[in-house]
Amino acid sequence: MLLHLLPLSTLLLIPSILATPVPSPVPTPEPLPLLVWHGLGDNYAADGLQSVGDLINTTVPGTFVYYIRLDENPDSDRTATFLGNLTTQLAQVCNDLASHPILSTAPAVNALGFSQGGQFLRAYVERCNNPPVRNLVTFGSQHNGIVKYQVCGPTDWLCKAYIGILKANTWGSWVQSHLVPAQYFRSTDETTGEPSQDYLDNSNFLADVNNERAAKNTTYAKNLASLDTFVMYVFDDDETVIPKESGWFAQTNSSSGEVTHLRNRTIYTEDWIGLRKLDQKGGLVFESTKGGHMQIGDEVIVDVANKYFAPEDAKMEESRAHARPGQENMEL
């Protein structure tokens, strides 16, 4: 080096320049894994469901997406959406997730449920929540049950066969332990709109996870209130979920059509499952989207992914990147 050619003032600066530490690159925050549970008549390997996972991974790169399944065979997994005991099915899912090599080591996960998969994910949070769910998003889910069974497609013979049995004897012990949609059917008194005694006495699933019986499970409320955010989407033109307002935990009088919204219901005011506590901390979100049941535009999925599935650190870094130098901590 020709140091003797440099001015003395420059030579005096060289040691301090060389000693100045070079900042290490900030590691990119990793997104939490995402659980996805499909709806009735679908299966975990369906192209449409996989495309949702791909879109989320494009929006939030690095997201590990796990599609919940009750059988590795897609056809058997589809059958399980109609036929099975939800108590047993949920126990299997709880065991599968708790022992999964990736999910079991994650600090938390996010969850996305479509139609009946949404209330099943909520039941997972209430009953086991291991690994714990941070943000839960449901689309067109029957959180407050259904009062009518869905209409099957003209060539969906599996659906037609099961729905025929359902209509014949909803509250029979065999139906309640074998046919999935019956286990979130909720009959009400035509005058008051309150749940019927048949429902309270015989429901295998919904009456329990909604804590509607006299004996309350306090763990359900504690677990659900532990969520950061619970987002419930209802489809504006949903004619499959009856009543569609079930997706917001609203109760509809089948005679008058009068809708009692969640915040005016006892399940909320007495906080049977933790919804009021979650709401009080700003974690309960009611959303709607255009279209019929499960008609979801890509832009809606992208918006959900950015709002609820992107790492919090990544959102903060993006915000800081748009701030002027030296103004990151300015109070507004």
Residue 275 CA to residue 40 CA, distance in Å, equals: 25
Catalytic status, residue 208: no
Burial 233-256 (b: 16+ CB within 10 A, else e): bbbeebebbbbbbbbbbbbbbeee
Identify the three-state secondary structure at position 319.
helix
Torsion angle of alpha carbons 230, 231, 234, 236, nearest 10°?
160
Residue 87 CA to residue 98 CA, distance in Å, equals: 17
Measured in whole angstroms, the distance separating CA 220 from the mean position of its chain's CA atoms is 16
Residue 331 CA to residue 293 CA, distance in Å, equals: 44
Active-site residue among 38, 115, 141, 246? 115
Q: Report CA-CA distances (Å) from 106 to 54, 98, 121, 309.
A: 20, 10, 17, 14
**Residues 254 and 188: beta-carbon distance below 8 Å:** yes
Active-site residue among 42, 77, 208, 238? 238
Catalytic status, residue 238: yes
Active-site residue among 38, 203, 208, 293? 293
Catalytic status, residue 143: no
Active site residues: 115, 238, 293
